[in-house]
């Protein structure tokens, strides 16, 4: 949030003043020790801040790299000028942050001072406030627009489902009450960016009204955009209802990962997310460190978000922590939309790994330590539009293990070392779930076929959470 100075002093003066001339109170200077400086940031750390809870590479001045990554990404949209004032980022304890921000806020950007107070090393929302001050210097629109803008752009691993019950009764209420600044404010700003472009929106932000006055807001809006606020408000909600999703817009400016299966720089500091390549209808096989799940979000924020299951077993001491034992084979929706993942992927490979018939696809070689790391495999398709069909994937298992029914194998998924599902040793999982049947499927090195009976599409085309089929491999032999 961006705290605004109290109007109390101005109110008193206005009662007494004959003419205007009241200055706004200055924001307080935040405390902290300067620990480092980069091209666009100065990093201050509160002496009471417990940096030991941060990963090693984020301690000291380490988070400056992450901040610079965020700047580089967002600058592709907002075009903040180089050589302007640096942003002071204050890493503070929660208590000190709340005290500095006021109003119970757990982070804030002190407007016009380019100071951010937060207990998180990178807080995209507050950074957006600072970026907008640089992109539109001197602008200070109503909080519906400022907070909406801070909510409008960002790369998050969150579903952001639309809930019309949270909507304001009218745009007048939304822009004046302060209750809808983050929710519908974000929706409104995203609608403008998507339909009018980011450059036009920044120009609008530069001159938008400061005061909460519906008539002034509407008149300024229609003069700038040449459309009425009523029309825009109606179109915004119609677009939102049509998609059912309205997530922040991610610049997706980072390069897509090479899909040759070679190790990637999965450091989230330098790659906070990965835009995904155009797969041309093929499937994408991704690996990630232990206990990671895979999320898939639309860069424009209008297509549904979906994410895989994660291997809780990989968080235990039983399984060694490895860099590539979470695996997802995903057939991305063929809607032409650019997507990204915030999962710290370690490899990416492209191929026809998911097919409609067994044995027709390209086998995906699982990582060498997949079984010893208690690997987990997710198979994912566009469950918003594909359902009631059977999909197959073939993987090459590097060593022996078991796929255990009691640790997550669901009844929609079967594994078999051949395509002879339901025959011989390849007993369907539904039978395995029988109390009298063995509780695991033994798997050996070599090809393993996965059969997934994709459930019917849910009403409204919603992705299940988690999405996809999922199998867990362990080294335990019962």
Residue 56 binds another protein (CB under 8 A): no
Rounded to a whole number of angstroms, the minimum distance from the CB of residue 201 to another protein is 16
Q: Which stretch binds another protein (CB under 8 A): 36-44, 170-178, 240-248, 337-345?
A: 170-178
| 358 Cβ contact list (under 8 Å, min separation 6) | 392, 394, 419, 421, 449, 451
Contacts with another protein, 175-204, as mask; x by CB under 8 A: -xxx--------------------------
Q: What are phi and psi of 373, to 5 degrees?
A: -90, 15
The whole-angstrom separation of Cα 275 and Cα 338 is: 7
Nearer to another protein, 214 or 447 (CB): 214
Q: What are phi and psi of 308, to 5 degrees?
A: -85, 170
Q: Which stretch binds another protein (CB under 8 A): 129-137, 174-182, 350-358, 437-445?
A: 174-182
Nearer to another protein, 208 or 380 (CB): 208
The whole-angstrom separation of Cα 189 and Cα 169 is: 18
Choice from 29, 230, 278, 356 touching another protein (CB under 8 A)? 230
Residue 231 binds another protein (CB under 8 A): no
Residue 167 binds another protein (CB under 8 A): no
Q: Which stretch binds another protein (CB under 8 A): 8-16, 64-72, 294-302, 450-458?
A: 8-16
Residues from 201 through 220 that contact another protein (CB under 8 A): 207-216, 218-220
* Contact status, residue 204 vs residue 149, Cβ threshold 8 Å: no
Which residues are paired to 474 by β-bridges?
Answer: 402
Nearer to another protein, 40 or 237 (CB): 237
* Closest alpha carbon to 429 in 408, 413, 406, 449: 413
Residue 320 binds another protein (CB under 8 A): no
Nearer to another protein, 123 or 221 (CB): 221
Rounded to a whole number of angstroms, the minimum distance from the CB of residue 104 to another protein is 17
Residue 168 binds another protein (CB under 8 A): no
Residue 22 binds another protein (CB under 8 A): yes
3-state secondary structure of 373: coil
- Residue 198 CA, chain-centre distance (Å), reads 20
Which residues are paired to 314 by β-bridges?
Answer: none
Which residues are paired to 297 by β-bridges?
Answer: 340
The whole-angstrom separation of Cα 417 and Cα 367 is: 18
Residue 396 binds another protein (CB under 8 A): no
Choice from 77, 98, 117, 142 touching another protein (CB under 8 A)? 142
Rounded to a whole number of angstroms, the minimum distance from the CB of residue 175 to another protein is 9
* Contact status, residue 348 vs residue 261, Cβ threshold 8 Å: yes
Nearer to another protein, 7 or 464 (CB): 7
State the virtual CA torsion across 112, 114, 115, 120 in degrees, nearest 10: 130
Residue 136 binds another protein (CB under 8 A): no
Choice from 156, 160, 182, 224 touching another protein (CB under 8 A)? 224
Helices 124-135, 143-152: inter-axial angle, 10-degree rounding: 120
Residue 159 binds another protein (CB under 8 A): no
Work out the number of other CB atoms within 10 angstroms of the CB of residue 81.
10
How many chain residues touch another protein (CB under 8 A)? 40
How would DSSP label each residue in 263-330? -----TTT-S-EEPPP-TT-EEEEEE-TT---EEEETTS-SPPEE----GGGGSSSS---SS-EEEEE
Q: Which stretch binds another protein (CB under 8 A): 9-17, 297-305, 391-399, 462-470?
A: 9-17
Residue 8 binds another protein (CB under 8 A): yes
Residue 225 binds another protein (CB under 8 A): no
Q: Footprint of another protein on this chain (CB under 8 A)?
A: 4, 6-8, 10-11, 14-15, 17-20, 22, 24, 140, 142-143, 170, 172-173, 176-178, 207-216, 218-220, 222-224, 230
């Amino acid at each position: 949030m961006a705290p605004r100075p109290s109007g109390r002093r101005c109110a008193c003066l206005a009662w007494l003043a004959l003419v205007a001339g009241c200055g706004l109170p200055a924001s307080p200077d935040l405390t902290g020790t300067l620990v480092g400086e980069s091209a666009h940031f100065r990093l201050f750390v509160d002496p009471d801040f417990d940096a030991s809870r941060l990963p090693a590479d984020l301690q000291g001045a380490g988070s400056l790299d992450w901040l610079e990554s965020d700047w580089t990404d967002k600058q592709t949209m907002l075009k903040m000028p180089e050589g302007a004032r640096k942003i002071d980022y204050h890493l503070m304890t929660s208590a000190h942050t709340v005290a500095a921000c006021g109003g119970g806020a757990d982070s804030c950007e002190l407007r016009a001072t380019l100071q951010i107070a937060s207990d998180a090393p990178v807080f995209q929302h507050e950074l957006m406030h600072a970026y907008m001050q640089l992109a539109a210097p001197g602008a200070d629109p109503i909080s519906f627009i400022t907070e909406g803008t801070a909510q409008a752009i960002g790369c998050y691993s969150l579903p952001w489902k639309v809930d019309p019950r949270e909507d304001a009764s009218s745009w007048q209420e939304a822009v004046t009450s302060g209750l809808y600044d983050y929710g519908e404010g974000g929706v409104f700003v995203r609608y403008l960016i998507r339909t009018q472009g980011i450059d036009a929106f920044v120009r609008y932000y530069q001159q938008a009204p400061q005061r909460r006055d519906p008539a002034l807001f509407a008149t300024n809006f229609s003069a700038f955009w040449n459309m009425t606020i009523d029309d825009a408000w109606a179109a915004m909600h119609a677009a939102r209802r049509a998609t059912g999703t309205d997530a922040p817009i991610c610049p997706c400016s980072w390069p897509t990962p090479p899909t040759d299966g070679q190790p990637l720089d999965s450091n989230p500091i330098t790659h906070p997310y990965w835009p995904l390549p155009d797969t041309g209808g093929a499937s994408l096989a991704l690996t990630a460190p232990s206990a990671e799940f895979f999320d898939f979000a639309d860069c424009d924020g209008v297509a549904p978000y979906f994410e895989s299951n994660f291997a809780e077993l990989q968080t235990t001491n039983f399984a060694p922590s490895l860099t590539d034992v979470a695996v997802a084979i995903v057939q991305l929706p063929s809607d032409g939309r650019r997507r990204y993942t915030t999962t710290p992927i370690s490899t990416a490979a492209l191929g026809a790994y998911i097919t409609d018939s067994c044995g027709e696809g390209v086998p995906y070689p699982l990582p060498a330590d997949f079984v010893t790391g208690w690997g987990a495999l997710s198979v994912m398709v566009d469950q918003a539009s594909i359902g009631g069909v059977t999909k197959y994937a073939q993987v090459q298992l590097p060593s022996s293990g078991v796929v255990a029914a009691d640790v997550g194998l669901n009844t929609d998924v079967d594994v078999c070392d051949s395509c002879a599902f339901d025959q011989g040793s390849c007993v369907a999982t539904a039978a395995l779930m029988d109390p009298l049947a063995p509780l695991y499927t033994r798997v050996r090195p070599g090809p393993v076929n996965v059969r997934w009976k994709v459930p019917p599409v849910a009403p409204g085309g919603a992705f299940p959470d988690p999405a996809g089929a999922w199998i867990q491999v362990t080294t335990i032999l019962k």
